[in-house]
Homo-oligomer: A and B are copies of this chain.
Amino acid sequence: MKDIGKLREFFKKDRYIIKNGIEIVEINQDFAICKAEIGEGHLNAKDMVQGGMIYTIADFTFAVLANYLHDFTVTQSATITYINQAVCKTLFAKSVELDATKHNCIHQVRVYDEKDITIARVQINGFIL
């Protein structure tokens, strides 16, 4: 979906993303960046950003970039590795496309905080419809 305005409109219908306070920061040919201001509702029982939230921002940032670069693309599989504990004010995710074929693409997503500390790395396989 080459029209960034339409792409942003499309993703405004993602109610899970809105509920989680995740916003698109940037979309271009090379990468997409999303962010979320961390609040009480993002925390786990140990007062750290919950692992599901960390995955969610990564997967959404992948979806933003993949749907910009290709036709409608969905996540087929993803592998997340948690690197450092997330005790932070703002969570960011940046997705970069590593490779793409006609019906498949693979992205590397880095999740990091406002101090640029890596929280997680996610390798995502997309299926391009």
Chain A residues at the B interface, C-beta cutoff of 8 Å: 10-17, 19-20, 40-45, 50-53, 55-57, 59-60, 74-84, 98-99, 101, 104, 106, 108, 110, 118, 121, 123, 125
Contacts and interface: CB of A to CB of B under 8 A. Distances in A.
Nearest to A19: B41
Given A45-B10, A74-B82, A17 B50 contact: yes
B60 A52 contact: yes
Report how many copies the assembly holds: 4
Given A52-B52, A52-B60, 17 more contacts: A14-B45, A15-B42, A16-B43, A16-B53, A17-B44, A19-B41, A20-B52, A51-B59, A52-B53, A52-B57, A52-B59, A55-B56, A74-B82, A77-B79, A77-B82, A79-B79, A84-B101
